[in-house]
Amino acid sequence: MTDSTRLPPAAGPSPDDDAAVAARALPLLDLTSLNDGDDADTVVRLCDRAQSAAGPVAAVCIWPLWVAIAKSNLRGTGIRVATVVNFPGGSFPRERVLYEIGEALADGADEIDVVMNYADVINGSGARAAADLAACREACGDATMKVILETGSLAKPVLIAKAAGIAVEAGADFLKTSTGKVPVGATPGAARILLEACRDAGRPVGFKASGGVRDIAGAREYLALADAICGPDWAGPATFRFGASGLLDALLATLGKGPAGPRSGSGY
C-alpha cells in the first residue's frame, strides 16, 4: 500500500447518530460508475459529484478507458482514481489482465480493483487464482490492489474464507466483496469473514463493501462490524471503503447537503 493511502482513521460515531455515521462514511466512499453506457461526460459528472458539498470522497471507480479523464479532472483534489480489471467474471487470460493493469497505471490509476478467478476457488484448488493474483500484485507495483472475491457467487463461508486467504497471501491491499454485477452483493456474513481475514493478516489489509450498500442503515451496519472485529479506530480511508454510487446521495441528504434518497447506479 502506498504512503499516500496511509490516512488517519475516521473517528467512531455514536451508532444512533445518522449524521455522525454519514460524516464518517462519506470520506470512505469509492464513488462508482461501471455502466455499459458510461462515456467521458459520465466520468466528468462523477468527478464533480466526488467533490461534494460535504467534502471529498476517497476515490472514484470507473472503467479503465476513462482513467486518464478522471485523473485530469481530479488533479489537486486528493481524490484517488480506481479502476477494474478482469471484470466482471474473473476469467480473462492472465496476459490480458496484466496488460489492463499496465495500461491503467500508465493512464494514472492509483488503485486497481482486480476480480480474482473465483470459479477456480469454487471448482478447483485455487492454485490458478493464487498465481494470477501474485502476477497482478507484481504488475501493480506500489499501486493499491483491491481483490474482488465475488462473495455472492462463492456463497459458502468456507469458500469465502478460502478466497480471502488466497488474496491475502497473494498480497492484496484490500479484500472487496463484490463486482455489483451478480444478484448477491455485500452481506454482513461475508463482511465478517473478510474483516476477520483483515484482522488476522499480520500486515495492513483493508476491507471494501460493495454491491447493495445504498443507505445510512447499511453504512452503519458495516462500520459497526469493522469496529467490533478490527477495533474502533481501524476504519479509515486506508483500510475501509464503500463501493457505491447511490450511497453518496443518502449521505448528503442526511447531512443536509442534498435531496433525500439515493440515485440509481450501476448495481452499487
Q: How many residues does the chain have?
A: 268
Please report the DSSP string for 155-179 in residue order: -SHHHHHHHHHHHHHHT-SEEE---
Q: What is the DSSP-derived secondary structure letter of residue 215? A: S
Distance CA(66)–CA(265), nearest Å, equals 17
176 annotated active-site: yes
Residue 231 Rama label (left phi>0; alpha psi -120 to 50; beta): left
208 annotated active-site: yes
Give the CA count within 13 Å in the CB-facing half-sphere of 75. Answer: 7
Choose the catalytic residue: 18, 113, 132, 249. Answer: 113
3-state DSSP call for residue 193? helix
Choose the catalytic residue: 71, 146, 162, 208. Answer: 208
Choose the catalytic residue: 71, 146, 162, 176. Answer: 176
Catalytic residue positions, numbered = 113, 176, 208
